[in-house]
Amino acid sequence: MEARVLEPAKATLPLESLEIRDFRAFDQLRIERLMRVNLVVGKNGVGKSTLLEAVRLYANRGSLSVIEKILYARDEEAPLPAFSGKQEAQNKLLPIKYLFHGREDVGLHRGPLLIGPLSRPAEALSIEGVFFYAKGKGYEQITNLDELRTLNKPVVPGLAIRLGSSFRIDQPLDKEDFQASTAISLQPPIAPCVFVFNDGLRMDETAELWDSIVLTELENDVLKALQIIDPDVERVSITTGAIRMVERTDMSRGPRKREKEPEVDRVPIAKMKGLGEPVTLLSLGDGMNHLFGIALALVNAKDGILLIDEVENGIHYSAQEQLWQLILEVAARLNVQVFATTHSWDCIDAFQRAMRHGLEPEGQMIRLQRERGSVLATLFDARKLNIATREDIEVR
């Protein structure tokens, strides 16, 4: 009997489809199919960055610290006092209302926002604004409007976070910030998730990601990324720089306090062919620094999700095809699902040209477009995107 060779099964993606309801720009967004690498395009304000935020929230099980980071990034983060008046609490559940579509006041009169796979609705992440009152040493959740109206006790706003039937947390926001709130979930994320902002990684994030892969084979992938811009880069590392005073927000106790603390700079450096001493990456240009952050984030997102806002930022159009080839190859090898946004036609064209190098392209473009008040997603696989770019059809 002839032996049969079994091909290894393809790794499962964290998200094979996506539905977002009542979250920021989206009253309801449905994406029937997601692929390994997803390039998101659309006009300003249509929700490209919002889609990345939604995936980040889902991957982290609605983590309160991630919610705070998302709000802070848009200057929407603000103190969350415990309100003594019931009507005041219902009208001022801030800044949570900025997470919801229409930015309406959050309360018992509206349902939760939902984020999750279309094919598995029972596993969706649900976040809802709720209210509590003190009872003994803990809190009791208010379940209906009649109870809220008749209750003669101080009311505290909060969140009810659910992930299907496997995870739930009811969190009173009884302090001035999320970090100081009690009973914060310690559940691990659904999948590792690394986020790269349009202006790149912070210095401490860069150093942390580098430390996790130093002296491993993954260093080679980072080096290859830098050589896309400058082939003379022979080695890369991070060195200790100057000590500086950094202003931080103290989230551990009482009212918020901003204090200055010493921090040691960790500076990315490169050994260049023909030079006797290393140079800083930043001296080689903003594009090199941004590329370093993308490559570091990619190799650290193994078996998880990588989110990149404005992937082409600072990177010359002539280098973008090679960048996409690297992303497609490493994402497939390390089982990373990538979501990236762009405004650039050059970036879209480079993406479709890079996909032509693969035998089985694992990428697609997702175009977000507002129609009759709702945001719709149109999918362009490798073939459709090739036709669109060849015929110079506007798809941004």
Q: What is the pLDDT of residue 9?
A: 44
Q: CA gyration radius for the chain?
A: 23
Report cis status (omega within 30 of 0) of the bond before 188: no
Tokens coding 385: 């995107």
Q: What is the pLDDT of residue 247?
A: 57
Question: Could you tell me which of 192, 175, 191 has the C-alpha nearest to residue 183?
Answer: 175
Domain ranges of the chain: 27-59+301-396, 61-172, 195-285
CA distance 299 to 209: 9
Q: Which amino acid is at 364?
A: Q
Tokens coding 231: 């082939």
Question: Could you tell me which of 232, 318, 227 has the C-alpha nearest to residue 274?
Answer: 232
Hey, which of 191-195, 237-241, 266-270 has the most confident mean pLDDT?
191-195
**Tens-place pLDDT, residues 166-215:** 777 887 776 544 444 434 444 677 889 999 998 888 888 898 999 999 98
Q: Is 392 left (phi over 0), alpha (psi -120 to 50) or beta?
A: left
Q: What is the pLDDT of residue 52?
A: 98
CA distance 331 to 327: 6
**Tens-place pLDDT, residues 30-78:** 999 999 999 999 999 899 999 999 999 999 988 888 888 888 888 776 5
CATH-assigned architecture of domain 27-59+301-396: 3-Layer(aba) Sandwich (3.40)
Q: What is the pLDDT of residue 167?
A: 74
Residue 10, C-beta contacts closer than 8 angstroms, at least 6 positions apart: none
CA 309 to chain centre: 9
Higher pLDDT, 209 or 2: 209
- Residue listed under structure tokens 């009973």: 183
Asked if pLDDT for residue 143 goes beyond 90, the answer is no
CA distance 150 to 146: 6
